[in-house]
Structure 1
């Protein structure tokens, strides 16, 4: 029912605010993953089967990412270079004097656009919106002979996308994420009348008491010469605008009419005042609408923008306040990345991801490390999730004039394009700008100078939001809000040092917000002794990550290098952090890094190669155990979860006491093992681990059935798991066993086990496993998940891969260094 509630809410409020005549161009595209000799090579007529019909093009749907699979291919570097897209469009602009645009919601990283052989536009920057006016080029092409003879009345469009490495472009290729290529956000065909709104700015404010709201509305017009033969500038001189303020129920509450006397620069349209407006908050994300209608003799144009009234404040050396009350920001992070598609996430994928965050209890998100799709910002508005959004000045140092101009342009675009979203409270200016490497010179004063310039530009464009950076101590005095590096229990120190380390950093700045904390976990890997690595970790040396800490080799002892990467350890780390945060009344908030595992070129040796595995869900949105730890602290809807749903075999001695943990937000819980009650325990958030909902149970070997009933008043929620308890000891892995464990809808799930010389499952084995396939089927690999990679570390002596059988015969193989390769017929 909760999921249905959010879906209904989004259907009501998350509608497009762009021009009425806008169409997503999703189908009938061809793709080429290489460069061509010239634009004519794309447009020249060739017959199918003709030797001249090379190179070969692939049919694709938009959005599409060049690196949909190779970003996580364990055996190659991901492709960075030019690629091409082409299609043919029916273009019939209904406005006699109107313009025809291609509106890009994002494409990476450098893009050139052609109508037939005419280049009509270019853009550098993979994450901001931009458009190309193709009106004149289309009109000119329609006059050519090939318009009808070769293209049968359609307009050929070609787009070159290029994510080649370039030191004078942000983000740096040293960044801990892929710099993707392709048209990986929606591309739209837009028809506008001669006069239209390019950007509608609606600044909604409310005083601290919440009794008086105001809206300032201004606009930047799109006005261009009409196309040749388009009928002149009819109506241009008699344009008027009607501006309406519409309440959350859809009722207009105020209206003003303005004559357009000028079409240059930003035009002030209206001011509204509103007594006791309904306030926007994470609990009640109430949205008003500003609607502007331009009326001319040539036709009307309507644009809507959602706004929200809220008053927020970062108290000096204190907490975060919303609408006059303290609010603890409970946050996470998001990268634009998904299994099978990389950056090319559909709107449905984005919606599912954001609803899962909300159901986890998130009320704040940092969009790392670049401005993201307008769809995500709309979802944050609708769901009630505060936003820190930032430009991709990330690592590497500081480049020259071209580099700086791109940063200025992207900051300007980010603020102007997302200005109206009530969810946005912070504009991020950079990330880890203390990280050198792209240039022979690393000058802190030059970085400080440019940071000051960006800070001033941000405040000039928008005084209503704060500026922020993460991890660049020599610039922390420049921005409004600063986040230092605190990775207690992962890159440095113990997680029990988290509160002390945070307090020390909190005192160093006026406004503090802790973004990025957590740790990696290999989904499906669990441990009976998760804290063993902590014995060798030094304490008292701070909790910031330093150069080389992400490496799995060398340096001081640290959990990131010496730990087991189990879900068990991550749950303990998260549990401790959340417990402490409840007793830090001065804390503004934090953001765990990140919500979902994501691809990165700088981590080839991780258990899933080229994946940052710090997410609480996998790259395909499969929940890890830590997701439920957050739910137990951050949500109010009754929930309960027994730890270990993906832990089929536990181990130990006969009658050894084993801890069974339950994560719940209920008042109390009762545990049953094999039908026997082990009593009721009360929840106490400060009783670590699992807020006191843990039982030490003496287990006998064999099958175990565990159930829990959690209660708050008369409300009950339940959960159950089954697992085997193995008391037999095992030796070193001596062989592999490959088996099919399920098959449905043409997908076979295969599991390999590491066994000792007596055939016992080696439950602590973390050997590398490589899968291969011959025949009619296809491995479902290059997904960046624990069960979707052909090269993967075992989790508790096993590993899984899926095969698309295609209704035929195949043979799958599994190998591990030093062991005999095994095969299985499918």
Structure 2
């Protein structure tokens, strides 16, 4: 119930002032595997201690280059910290260098050692001890280098130098110039880097093995019913030794309770240099099926065993057993039943200040917040997401549409199409075991391309993942006649044989240039715009529930505010801002979740939210978002009004409830001003189901700003002491009673002591931070030492009647994986790479660029609700 939820939230604010550990620490995969104890595979955190230089510099690839004056940072890393409002190609684009000194531990004698980069933005060139060993084009998919093949041995001192360049480049996807792009090419090694050591008889990396529908571990399924499920496990192993080897491939299937339900073994003989794929099948009786609302996961524990039983290599693959069917006009069926409508959002990997350089914990928290908001499907925009986000979607119960990198750009050079095909193969091989993957979008979004490209993209998808469902815009070449699902609108039902899904709903702009719209509202604009946005998105949400089964759902564009390339304003259409602070529209989304739903991770149950601040400028109407049957509004402790939630057969589950013309500031002020009874000024809202009160909430108008209050936005997780994990701390301005002063205008100065540091400084408006709609966030990053962290907040200009300061104390915990580094990153390194990067087009260049945008937006449709 919401009453209980409010109590829990308030209690957490109290307890979060002295937290020693989080309530839940999610696990994350590395190169597709979760850790398997004593498997022979060792994974080290390679993120710490990179020397960094932004710009061109001669000789940085050489082993003896003097980098002693460079800054020391940790990855995930961005080449430039930016203000939370820095859209319009204000970010740095160009060259940057990373160099890491390290020594191979003697314990790795006889191992194959790989350095695995989850992604680096743009063009990457990797040098090992001065020798070029890898070049990778594209900013969203992994690549790796094997140290062993270049003669590196345990005990050796090594230097890896990585050149990265996020400049515009038409030769590889996405290819589009950032000045005409609707998102931002934030630079750097912005995802994790790992060192992976395995035996020389090992499970292959699917992208390095480069086998169609092969390499690594690939789990597929035969018949699936509620009584019986066939699980087929393909394991690809290779022998890098100079002699023949006889091994056993063992796969254990472990059910969601942790019980081993089947052990499969196969003996294999490998000649030197040979690789083989082993197929094993298991039948599961009465399987626990995966649903978005009960995302039960099995584990496949894979081991390669020597003749003496020693484990040479292994890992865990998490899987969910589920059957998906797109039955065209009969809709989408899950596990043999007609599915509920799939409503969710698109997702860019963009966060305030740090751009794309988000730690795994924040990717998980993003997924959690989206699930709490009722999202049951995520379309990635417009590239594969961080592996940890995919892990989270499996666990939290959200379907995902995975898209290849691309947006409104086509290069006729055949090499470009070839690189897109490579991306399709790589993203499928990376993500194919994720239960959350529902469909693949293998073409380039909103792009005019030739028919043969569309057909080839689908062919590659089907060969890499037999039986996969492909989805794309119905008006793109070859899609309507060949793809399993088409992007379209509810009105398109009947025009196609396939199921229809709306890839981006909610937009209501006036034109491509101005982008004025009532669905985009900065949280800083306050109550009126936030309510307007929420109600406009409610209209768009309602359109996702037409009559008939063929239309299966849609994804909001876009749940989080983010930076863009071609427009000076950030995208403010999110239901949360760039720090993931909720707007009114978040609660509108959340109110669409059934009050009866129970979920193992998501916040569910009956809820009511009052979208009204009882301020001098508030609307006469009081709007309430709820998932209950009816709402009781009690004003000033005496006036009682009741309204039902007016539901329609075809429409959103729970439309907003609006009490018309019930608030008048001039009348309300009689209580505090004349009668001196300000305590009477309350709104109490109760949610009723079957005539019974199941939840309630109370709101009072905020009085004078008197206190600051701090809380952690950690979703129960503890901060990891790895020098890259961060956590938002939220400072709110309140009155004496704890009511948030939404109209406060203050600058909050943060300081931190202990094992943490503040990300950003005054240059980017991070510290001090301006209060917006009652709050000011700060990002706290861990050091390498687990321990206590104390954050202190005060107003910048203090005085007798200024709000009193606040502090919060919590602890970071040690990382699970061993860190590999020889140099510690600087503390308070933020000022090193913040600041403005100046680049300015001429007026003629700007006009030409914006004319290009106008042409493309006219063709593909910026006004996405039509």
**TM > 0.5 fold call:** yes
Within the candidate set 435, 446, 453, 1:422 is matched to 435
| Distance in 2, Cα, partners of 1:360 & 1:57 | 43
The answer on whether the counterparts of 1:128 and 1:413 sit within 8 Å (CA) in structure 2 is: yes
Aligned length: 686
Q: 1:265 to 1:591 in 2, by over 3 A?
A: farther
* CA offsets 1:20-79 (integer angstroms, 9 cap, x no match): 300112322221111210235674347xxxxxx6xx522322111224427853697211
1:17 to 20, 23, 34: 34
**Contact residue 93 and residue 100 of structure 1 kept, 8 A:** no
Alignment of 1:516 with 2:475, yes or no, is no
In structure 2, the partner of 1:524 is none
**Pairs within 5 Å for 1:802-813:** none
The match for 1:213 among 221, 225, 229 is: 229
1:221-260 superposed Cα distances (whole Å, 9 cap, x missing partner): 34435xxxxxx54xx5122211222222222222222122
Secondary structure of the 1:477 match is helix
In 2, Cα distance between equivalents of 1:276 and 1:269: 23
1:603 matched residue in structure 2? 567
1:126-175, CA deviations, whole angstroms, 9 ceiling, x for partnerless residues?
11122111124463797xxxxxxxxxx64222221111110111112333
Q: Which residue of 1 aligns with 2:168?
A: 165
Greater mean alpha carbon deviation, residues 616-625 or residues 397-406: 397-406
Q: 1:42 to 1:65 in 2, by over 3 A?
A: farther
DSSP-derived class of the 2:279 partner: strand
What does residue 711 of structure 1 align with?
Answer: 688
Q: Which structure 2 segments of 5+ residues have no match?
A: 13-21, 207-215, 596-603, 670-680, 712-728, 734-742, 750-757, 781-790, 799-866
The alpha-carbon distance between structure 1 residues 580 and 139, as it changes in their structure 2 partners (threshold 3 A), is closer
Cα deviation code 1:784-812 (max 9, x no counterpart): 99x9689xxx98xx998999999999789
Conservation of the 8 A alpha-carbon contact between 1:113 and 1:158: yes
SS of 2:450's equivalent?
helix
Does 2:32 align with 1:69? no
1:39 aligned to 2:42? no
Higher relative contact order (CA 8 A, sep 6+): 2
Equivalent of 1:432, from 431, 440, 445? 445
3-state SS of paired residue (2:662): strand
2:281 paired with 1:257: no
Cα separation, partners in 2 of 1:721 and 1:251, compared to 1, 3 Å: same
Counterpart check, 1:296 vs 2:306: yes
What residue number does 1:640 align with? Answer: 607
> Unaligned stretches of 5+ in structure 1?
47-52, 143-152, 226-231, 435-443, 487-501, 521-544, 653-657, 726-738, 752-762, 764-768, 813-826
SS at match of 1:159: strand
Moved more, 83-92 or 476-485: 476-485
Give the 5 Å matches for 1:352-363.
Answer: 352-363=365-376
Does the 8 A contact of 1:642 with 1:720 survive in 2?
Answer: no
Matching residue of 2:328: 316
Q: 1:64 to 1:740 in 2, by over 3 A?
A: farther
Say yes or no: does 1:468 pair with 2:468.
no
Rounded Cα–Cα distance in structure 1 between residues aligned with 2:25 and 2:392: 7
Alpha-carbon displacement from aligned partner over 1:497-556 (angstroms, at most 9, x marks no partner): xxxxx2235534522111211148xxxxxxxxxxxxxxxxxxxxxxxx8xx933207xxx
Aligned to 1:277: 287
Please say if residues 473 and 484 of structure 1, whose CA atoms lie closer than 8 Å, have aligned partners that are also in contact: no
Cα distance change, pair 304–810 in 1 and its aligned pair in 2 (3 A):
closer
Distance change (3 Å), C-alpha of 1:614 and 1:745? closer
Change in Cα spacing, 1:700 to 1:9, as seen in structure 2 (3 Å) is closer
Bigger Rg over Cα: 1
1:105 paired residue among 80, 104, 118: 118
CA distance in 2, matches of 1:809, 1:245: 56
Secondary structure of the equivalent of 2:592?
A: helix
Counterpart position of 2:738: none
Q: CA deviation at 1:189?
A: 0.9
For 1:680 and 1:750, how far apart are their aligned partners in 2?
32
In structure 1, what is the Cα distance between the partners aligned to 2:794 and 2:332?
60
Tell me, in whole angstroms, the C-alpha distance in 2 between the residues paired with 1:692 and 1:571: 12
Deviation at 1:771, TM superposition (A): 10
1:589-625 superposed Cα distances (whole Å, 9 cap, x missing partner): 1111122111111220x2xxxx111211111010011
Tell me how far 1:721 sits from its aligned partner. 2.8
Judge conservation of contact 1:431–1:471 (CA < 8 Å) in 2: no
Distance in structure 2 (CA, Å) of the matches to 1:266 and 1:594: 44
2:103 alignment partner in structure 1: 90
Render the CA deviation track for 1:770-789: whole Å, top value 9, x for unaligned.
9999xxx986574799x968
* Matched ranges for 1:574-653 at <5 A: 574-586=537-549, 587-604=551-568, 606=569, 611-636=570-595, 637-644=604-611, 648-650=615-617
SS of residue paired to 1:466: coil
Query: 1:451 aligns to what?
Result: 454
CA contact (8 A) 2:82 2:354 kept: yes
Q: Distance in 2 between matches of 1:40 and 1:692?
A: 63
Q: Please give the secondary structure, in 2, of the residue aligned with 1:512.
A: strand
Structure 1 residues 674 and 483, CA gap change in structure 2 (3 angstroms): farther
Measure the CA separation in 2 of the matches of 1:642 and 1:13.
34
The answer for the alignment partner of 2:532 in structure 1 is: 569
For the 8 Å contact 1:163–1:180, the answer to whether it is kept is: yes
Give the match for residue 824 of structure 1.
none
Cα pair 1:782 1:789 within 8 Å, conserved: no
Cα 1:343/1:470, change in 2 over 3 Å = farther
Tell me if 1:125 matches 2:125. Answer: no
Matched, 1:224 2:263: no
Indicate conservation of the 8 Å contact 1:431/1:472, yes or no: no
Q: How big is the shift at 1:476? A: 3.0
Alignment partners' CA distance in 1, 2:413 and 2:318: 38
RMSD of aligned Cα (Å): 4.2
2:784 aligns with none
What corresponds to 2:815 in structure 1?
A: none
Q: Does 1:194 align with 2:200?
A: yes
Which residue matches 1:366?
379
TM-score, normalised via structure 2 length: 0.71
> Deviation at 1:560?
7.2
Equivalent residue number for residue 700 of structure 2: 722
Aligned to 1:699: 664
* Structure 1 residues 75 and 518: CA distance shift in structure 2, 3 A: closer
CA deviation string 1:545-601 (max 9, x = no partner): 8xx933207xxx976799999222221222233344445342311111122111111
Given that residues 116 and 195 in structure 2 are in contact (C-alpha distance below 8 angstroms), is that contact kept between their aligned partners in structure 1? Answer: yes
Q: Is the 8 A contact 1:330 1:634 kept in 2?
A: no
